[in-house]
């Protein structure tokens, strides 16, 4: 046996590199690496999810196989290198012990051999092997391990991916934090097999078909509990220089100061020609929404003349009311969609592996094709310079969600890492212009470059299977906010049907529940969100056809949303810049939760539809919250 010893971990490994055990020295707890989850692959297409599930992997005909035996040897005083002769070629894994952590890396190999793997696989606690998992999807999912089988891999950022490059496994004795340091081609594999076995691990996918750069994960031992895991990850991200506080951002972009205590006011992508917007905003002010971030005052699309002719309804644009909004203490933001375009100019387009342009979006007979990195950066600069001089903020559609895409156009071949860098350039340019920046999808590692990442779960309860928890804000509350998808407003249930989102992949997306969503925002310390008037499209379910709808300010649900929003605004004004220092789960099903902020403010919420008791506080009304 080979072994490495640090202050936090002891690693032991068999000479063939297959038996791996890590021991938490402080808590005397051991974790064993499950050999049946150590996969390697060749010729598996990037993000080909079915290939890795328990029903497919390691079958004779599969392109995903077990790593097999190798040869482990010391390659330094703190490193063991294990070279495995897999079915697809050689793969070398380096296990490097640091005082407080263990690094596991896969060496780059430009050959046509192994080009993807699980890194390193699933660790299981010694003994029962059972654990709960903290999954950074949406604002966070705490999964008990109970419930039916599922296969729910997360790739990319935002709603469909992982909002932070980490996951946690929690036992009564200790916890294990696993971080993907290299994340451009990473997948968070999350599965419960038909036999009841939990599999949660990082996968590293091919980069332009190869393992062309080294991949790395980092393992930390941790005290049990969600707060401990999130705070350890926070310290790691700060150490890596990927964290910028609100105060630092405000010193560079003073407009952000007015964000705290404001409501998010969405008015739809489309322009309602029958609405008196000036009068509507004055009614909103009279109703008690005294500060707001309003968007989209202007909807910016990269459309050619032919595409514009096909549109039946105009995009939003009421920049003529910027004076009114300023008078009302309302900030004005745009909506900008420049990731894709209807253009046919192939020099500007991203190609798939088949060397053909990729259609990412279609509506009203218009097809949007993916743009190259440089074209996106160019459009971003041009649109900001030409159209945002009097605006306070900008909202990007899809910029911080979805995977990092490759480009096989021979004029500008690019890997996922290059697209990741291009997205950051776009955000950084908006920041240089002093704008408040929001985007679809919460991408933790990019919060130093933007401020509001949207899309989160609206129902915190998942029975005895899981509960939704505020992981993103335990890490980032004093840096960025995790907000609602543009159309998941307190008063807007319309988009529960879009993409089957109501319980997509068994998790609860959607708006239209004012009291419950206000409780979610209160516990997270984030601003409320209302769609009081305006115009918006949605898909007719199961079709690509559109319908349009208009909220009415006087509707009961709009008035309820306004009334629910006002106390959340007051809370956000008080604690908006502060670190969330603790999360407490008062019931195992997540029905009663509490968060604590650095000034001592406590927020307790009941997410159930019945009266429930909170320790030391008493009974809480259904779907309600209080601050102490």
pLDDT tens digits for 174-184? 999 999 999 99
Q: Which helix (H) or strand (E) holds 80?
A: strand 79-86
- The CA-based angle 224-227-232, given to 5 degrees, is 85
Confidence of residue 508 (pLDDT cuts 50, 70, 90): confident
Distance CA 325, CA 210 (A): 52
Beta-bridge partners for 84: 70, 91
More confident residue, 305 or 319: 319
Task: Report the C-alpha gap between 264 and 541 in whole angstroms.
Answer: 27
- pLDDT at residue 286, as a whole number: 98
Q: What per-residue confidence (pLDDT) applies to 301?
A: 77
How many C-beta atoms lie closer than 10 Å to residue 538's C-beta?
16
Can you state the percent helix, strand and coil of the chain, rounding each to 5?
25, 35, 45
pLDDT of residue 111 exceeding 80:
no
Q: How do residues 404-421 score in pLDDT, each as one tens digit?
A: 999 999 999 999 999 999
pLDDT of residue 367: 87
Question: What percentage of the chain has pLDDT greater than the value 70?
Answer: 98
On the question of pLDDT at 464 being above 70, the answer is yes
Strands 481-483 and 466-468 come out as unpaired
- Full-prediction pTM beyond 0.75? yes
**Mean pLDDT of all residues in the chain?**
95
Mean pLDDT of 582-601: 97
Helix (H) or strand (E) holding 558: helix 556-575
Neighbour order of strands in the sheet with 29-33: 2-5, 9-13, 20-24, 29-33, 123-125
Report the DSSP beta bridge partners of residue 612: 620
The pLDDT score that the predictor gives to residue 334 is 98
Strands of the 132-135 sheet, one edge to the other: 70-74, 79-86, 89-97, 102-106, 215-222, 175-180, 166-170, 132-135, 141-143, 466-468, 461-462
Instruction: Find the mean pLDDT for residues 169-196.
Output: 97
Question: What is the structure's pLDDT at 209?
Answer: 93
pLDDT at 305: 66
pLDDT, position 49: 82
* C-alpha–C-alpha distance, residues 331 and 265, integer Å: 10
Angle between helices 416-432 and 373-387 (to 10 degrees): 10
Q: What's residue 304's pLDDT? A: 65
Non-local CB neighbours of 183 within 8 Å, separated by 6+ positions: 165, 445
Task: Report the candidate in 596, 598, 617 with the shortest Cα–Cα distance to residue 606.
Answer: 617
State the Cα–Cα distance between residues 294 and 265, nearest whole angstrom. 5
Between CA 331 and CA 343 the distance in angstroms is: 33
User: Does residue 189 contact residue 118 with C-beta atoms inside 8 Å?
Assistant: yes
Candidates 158, 226, 262; CA nearest to 474 is 226
Residue 127: pLDDT over 80: yes
- Continuous segment of H or E residues that includes residue 424: helix 416-432
SS3 117: strand
pLDDT at residue 280 in the model: 98
What's the pLDDT at 502?
Answer: 63
Radius of gyration of the chain measured on its C-alpha atoms = 25
Q: Residues for the chain: how many in total?
A: 628
Q: In terms of CATH architecture, what is 2-239?
A: Distorted Sandwich (2.70)
Pair 559, 566: CB distance under 8 Å? no
Please check the confidence at residue 302 and state whether its pLDDT lies above 80: no
What does the pLDDT read at residue 507? 84
pLDDT value of position 128 = 80
Q: How far apart are CA 628 and CA 626, in angstroms?
A: 7
Which pLDDT band holds residue 504 (cuts at 50, 70, 90)?
low
Chain centroid to Cα 24, Å, comes to: 29
Q: What are the residues whose beta carbons fall under 8 Å from the beta carbon of 574, sequence distance 6 or more?
A: 599, 601
Q: What is the pLDDT of residue 240?
A: 98
Average pLDDT over residues 505-516: 90
Q: Considering only 199-203, 213-217, 441-445, 494-498, which range has the smallest mean pLDDT?
A: 494-498
CA atoms within a 13 Å half-sphere pointing along the CA-CB vector of 221: 24
pLDDT, tens digit, 9 for 90 and up, residues 28-85: 999 999 999 999 999 888 988 889 999 999 999 999 999 999 999 999 999 999 999 9
Residues near 468 by beta carbon (within 8 Å), at least 6 away in sequence: 138, 139, 140, 141, 142, 457, 459, 460, 461, 462, 508, 590
For the stretch 594-628, pLDDT in tens is: 999 999 999 999 999 999 999 889 999 999 999 99
Q: Would you state the structure tokens that stand for residue 103, as one six-digit string?
A: 């690094």
The answer to whether 200 and 189 are in contact (CB under 8 A) is: yes
| Sheet with strand 602-606: strands edge to edge | 580-585, 592-597, 602-606, 624-627
pLDDT at 565: 99
């Amino acid at each position: 046996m080979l072994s490495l010893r640090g202050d936090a971990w002891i690693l032991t490994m068999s000479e063939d590199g297959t038996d791996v055990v890590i021991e938490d020295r402080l808590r005397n707890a051991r974790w064993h690496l499950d050999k049946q989850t150590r996969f390697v692959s060749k010729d598996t297409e990037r993000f080909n999810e079915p290939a890795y599930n328990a029903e497919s992997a390691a079958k004779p005909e599969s392109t995903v196989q077990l790593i097999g035996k190798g040869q482990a040897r010391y390659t330094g005083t703190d490193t063991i290198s294990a070279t495995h002769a897999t079915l697809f070629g050689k793969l070398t894994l380096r296990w490097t012990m640091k005082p407080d952590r263990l690094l596991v890396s896969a060496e780059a190999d430009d050959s046509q051999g192994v080009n993807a793997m699980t890194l390193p696989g699933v660790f299981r606690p010694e003994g029962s092997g059972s654990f709960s998992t903290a999954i950074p999807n949406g604002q966070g999912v705490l999964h008990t391990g109970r419930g039916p089988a599922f296969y729910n891999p997360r790739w990319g950022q935002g709603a469909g991916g992982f909002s932070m490059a980490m996951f946690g496994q929690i036992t009564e004795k200790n916890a294990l934090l696993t971080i993907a340091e290299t994340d451009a081609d990473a997948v968070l594999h999350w599965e419960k097999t038909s036999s009841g076995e939990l599999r949660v691990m990082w996968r590293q996918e091919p980069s332009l078909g190869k393992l062309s750069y080294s991949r790395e994960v980092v393992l930390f031992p941790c005290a049990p509990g969600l707060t401990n895991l999130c705070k350890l990850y926070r310290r790691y991200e700060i150490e890596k220089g990927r964290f910028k506080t609100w105060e630092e951002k405000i010193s560079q972009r003073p407009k952000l100061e007015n964000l705290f205590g404001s409501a998010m006011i969405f008015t739809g992508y489309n322009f309602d020609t029958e609405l008196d917007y000036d009068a509507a905003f004055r009614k909103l002010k009279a109703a008690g929404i005294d500060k707001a971030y309003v968007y989209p005052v202007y909807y910016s699309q990269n459309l050619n003349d032919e595409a514009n002719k096909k549109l039946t309804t105009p995009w939003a644009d009421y920049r003529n009311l910027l004076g009114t909004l300023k008078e009302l203490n309302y900030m004005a933001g745009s909506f900008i969609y420049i990731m894709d375009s209807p253009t046919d100019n192939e020099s500007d387009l991203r190609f798939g592996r088949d060397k053909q342009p990729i259609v990412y979006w279609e509506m009203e007979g218009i097809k949007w094709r993916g743009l190259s990195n440089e074209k996106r950066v160019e459009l971003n600069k041009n649109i900001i310079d030409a159209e945002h001089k009097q605006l306070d903020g900008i909202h990007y559609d899809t910029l911080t969600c979805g995977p990092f895409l490759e480009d096989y156009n021979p004029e500008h071949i690019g890997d996922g890492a290059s697209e990741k860098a291009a997205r950051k350039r776009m955000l950084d340019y908006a920041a240089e212009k002093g704008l408040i920046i929001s985007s679809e999808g919460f991408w933790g590692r990019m919060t130093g470059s933007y401020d509001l990442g949207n899309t989160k779960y609206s129902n915190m309860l998942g029975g005895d299977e899981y509960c939704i928890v505020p992981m993103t804000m335990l890490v980032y509350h004093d840096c960025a906010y995790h907000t609602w998808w543009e159309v998941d407003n307190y008063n807007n249930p319309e988009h529960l049907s879009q993409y089957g989102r109501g319980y997509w992949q068994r998790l609860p997306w959607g708006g239209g529940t004012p009291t419950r969503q206000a409780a979610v925002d209160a516990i997270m310390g984030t601003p409320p969100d209302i769609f009081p008037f305006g115009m918006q499209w949605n898909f007719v379910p199961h079709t690509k056809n559109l319908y349009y709808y208009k909220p009415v300010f006087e509707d009961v649900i709009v008035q309820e949303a306004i009334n629910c929003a006002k106390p959340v605004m007051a809370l956000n004004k008080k604690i908006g810049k502060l670190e969330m220092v603790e999360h407490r789960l008062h019931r195992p099903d997540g029905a009663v939760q509490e968060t604590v902020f650095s000034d001592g403010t406590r927020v307790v919420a009941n997410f159930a539809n019945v009266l429930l008791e909170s320790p030391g506080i008493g009974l809480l009304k259904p779907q309600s919250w209080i601050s102490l």
